[in-house]
Amino acid sequence: MPSSIDRLTIIQPDDWHLHLRDGPALRDTVNDAARHFARAIVMPNLAPPVITTAQAEAYRQRILAARPEASDWQALMVLYLTDNTPADEIDRAVASGNIHAVKYYPAGATTNSDSGVTDIKKVYPVLERMQKLGLPLLLHGEVTDTHIDIFDREAMFIERILIPLCLQFPDLKIVLEHITTEQGVAFVSNSGDNIAATITPQHLLCNRNDLLAGGIRPHNYCLPILKRSNHQQALINAATSGSAKFFLGTDSAPHPQNKKESACGCAGCYSHHAAIELYAEVFERAQALDKLEGFASLFGPAFYGLPVNQKTLSLRRAPWQLPASTQLGGDPMVPFYASETLQWAVVDGE
Ligand code: DOR
Ligand code: ZN
């Protein structure tokens, strides 16, 4: 049953998980990111990855140079953890004031993760330093063993890697990124305040039927892969629950159309053409629009220890059709939910 309100004003949201890429793509991705959001946690999986504080500072400058004129949107930088990251890099990162987290990719888990960690024990000295200094660890929470079924990789990660990790580092701040399963929701819900999770629009709006039933839809392919509808429902319940442990992270991850529509297509859904509107759709369907502001604008800053934004963003009920195609650095790109209709639109210029 649709809710009765026609207008919604929230504190300006932030995106706590975003891929901007580099080079010519930045004009498009940064422009979209800065349209409605105030800040974003920027993923470091470039080729080569953003491993050092100096590399993160240089990348930040390239990003800020691509901002639209007069924009005060902020890039919150993240270091890419490798087997060889020295613990002292954490001191430099914290001292910079511009680095807000460190990302753990299991080697081989996803796009540009080849330099990722081969065994989490190898980075224990780095995690020790992060725990001491309060720098959050962001997890791509999937095991990579080739014999483990792709649909089981998140649940297996929680059992084999995450539970022992939390026992070893009980005070380490951890974000289990882009959770996709009931097990992910349960683990985060039952953990202390130092453990949180981000949830993407595609995992809230879709399940694996949207990827595989009636034809393969490569634009719904991302990692972790879409799961069964019971998992989708658990994510909707978590996002709309009002719990401060779950907050907005789009994982918007652009790839050109030809790299997605391929015999071996890339993982990633681009959602920053309509990010807050996609989430509004989910919250509206769950009759929980009153919970959108906490999820989008309050719980992320609270976890990261950052101030809440000053500005507001207004949406109104005004159905609109998403574009069939957009641009990524001069290449055509098919964004997530292309050509679908959404019920809520941002009121620009307020
Ligand atoms: O679908 C994904 N795309 N998942 C990731 O973890 C990485 C991302 C990308 O960078 O394309
Ligand atoms: Zn990501």
Tens of pLDDT along 100-130?
Answer: 999 999 998 888 888 899 999 999 999 999 9
- Most ligand 1 atoms within 8 A of CB, residue of 22, 113, 223 to mutate: 223
CATH code assigned to 13-308: 3.20.20.140
The catalytic site residues sit at 251
pTM of the shown model: 0.97
**Hey, what are 177's tokens?**
């990124």
C-beta of 222 in contact with ligand 1 (< 6 A): yes
What is the predicted pLDDT for the residue at 350? 56
Neighbours of 344 (CB within 10 A): 25
223 lines ligand 1 (CB under 6 A): yes
For the chain, which residues make up each domain, given as ranges? 13-308
Q: 200 CA to middle of ligand 1, Å?
A: 12
Cis geometry, peptide bond prior to residue 106 (ω within 30 degrees of 0): no
Q: Does ligand 1 lie within 6 Å of residue 22's CB atom?
A: no
Ligand 1 midpoint to CA 311 (Å): 30
**Tens digits of residue pLDDT in 19-29:** 999 999 999 99
Residue among 331, 341, 292 nearest 27 (CA):
331
Determine the atom of ligand 1 nearest the C-alpha atom of 177: 6
Q: Is the CB of 111 under 6 A from ligand 1?
A: yes
What are the structure tokens assigned to 118, written together? 């081969």
Determine the pLDDT at residue 1.
43
Answer whether 292 contacts ligand 1 (Cβ < 6 A).
no
Using the mean position of ligand 2's atoms as its centre, give its distance from the Cα of residue 253 in Å.
7
Pairwise CA distance, residues 13 & 181, whole Å: 24
- CA 43 to ligand 2 center in whole angstroms: 7
Q: Is the CB of 53 under 6 A from ligand 1?
A: no
pLDDT of the chain, 350 residues: tens digit per residue: 455 799 999 999 999 999 999 999 999 999 999 999 999 999 999 999 999 999 999 999 999 999 999 999 999 999 999 999 999 999 999 999 999 999 999 998 888 888 899 999 999 999 999 999 999 999 999 999 999 999 999 999 999 999 999 999 999 999 999 999 999 999 999 999 999 999 999 999 999 999 999 999 999 999 999 999 999 999 999 999 999 999 999 999 999 999 999 999 999 999 999 999 999 999 999 999 999 999 999 999 999 999 999 999 999 999 999 999 999 999 999 999 999 999 999 998 65
Looking at residue 3, what is its pLDDT? 56
Whole-number Cα distances in Å, 329 to 55, 106, 107, 121: 22, 29, 28, 39
Rounded Cα–Cα distance for residues 197 and 185 (Å): 8
Q: From the CB of residue 228, how many other CB atoms can be counted at a distance below 10 Å?
A: 15
